[in-house]
Amino acid sequence: MIIANTIQEVRAHVYGWKKYHTIGFVPTMGYLHEGHLSLIERSVAENAKTIVSIFVNPMQFSPTEDLDKYPRDLESDKAMCRKAGANLIFYPQVEEIYPKDFYSYVDMEGLTKELCGKTRANHFRGVCTVVNKLFNIVAADRAYFGQKDAQQLAVIKKMVRDLNMDIEIIGCPIIREVDGLAKSSRNSYLSLEERKAAQVVSQAIFKGEELVKSGEISAKNIIESMTKIVQTEPLAKIDYIEIVDLDTLEKIQEVTKPTLGAVAIYIGKTRLIDNFAVY
């Protein structure tokens, strides 16, 4: 497995591979867990070559967010990538991606302003910009993203459509802990007590999904039931619980078409997101 720190190195390898092979790409911020692993394994199964990027992208963090304490463990990440069969890790320094004279951004109206966009101003501008750059560097045929970040997945799919980017975006299922908590690098922030409290997040998601599957169409009723579950936990504070259109991410009153039930909930200081999608 190759470790490339510069854009030039990545391009030199990709240039050779592109002629004969399909390339799958898994963009990450490192501190890999089974969720990432499932993306890498899928890419390895579907492509001749798999590239994983590990880059904690400063542009998608606001000044009050957790950039400095974002967890990192390159050695463990390398071992996981190697075991999963990745061919190359792109591990650039910040200056490689954002040189001093960097002035160009990719931004999006509409769905970036919903859900997490309401409290995380500029987050999706940072995500769109870095993903665009990474796509240009890696020149993959397919890129793999987790459904756990449902809004990010919808935004990337829209960006690729809007800008006619020549890459296929593949969304992969949420991977959960035994008690239901969606796998996330940020779970490592939780104390033992908070980790236990965090169960209400997935419990609310499962309840919402169960209600929809049993025929409940009122978004209000679904949100109320989900809210009640979260409110049983004193350490939990709701950022949002919403029922939205799966494509536009706009709020809906009734579940009659593909729908996303999405939550962001603080457990102590840690903000956790989770969701269910019905098609």
Contact residues toward ligand PAF (CB under 6 A) are 27-29, 57, 60, 127, 130-131, 149, 152
Q: What CA–CA distance (Å, rounded) separates 111 from 154?
A: 8
CB 146 → ligand PAF: shortest distance, Å? Answer: 7
Among residues 156 and 201, whose Cβ is nearest to ligand PAF? 156
Strand partners, 25: 51, 143
Question: Which residue's CB is nearer to ligand PAF, number 128 or number 267?
Answer: 128
Among 13, 21, 33, 36, the one annotated catalytic: 36
- Minimum gap (Å) between residue 228 Cβ and ligand PAF: 30
Cα–Cα nearest to 149, from 22, 11, 271: 271
The minimum distance between CB 54 and ligand PAF, in angstroms, equals 9
Q: What are phi and psi of 50, to 5 degrees?
A: -125, 130
In the complex with ligand PAF, which residue's Cβ is closer, 165 or 252?
165
Q: Check if 36 is active-site.
A: yes
CB atoms within 10 A of CB 58: 15
Residue 186: CB minimum distance to ligand PAF, A: 10
Q: How far apart are the C-alpha atoms of 27 and 50, rounded to whole Å?
A: 11
C-alpha 226/C-alpha 220 separation (Å) is 10
> How far is the C-alpha of 129 from the C-alpha of 117, rounded, in Å?
15
Which tokens in the block code for residue 212? 């929809």
Query: Which residues participate in catalysis according to the annotation?
Result: 36
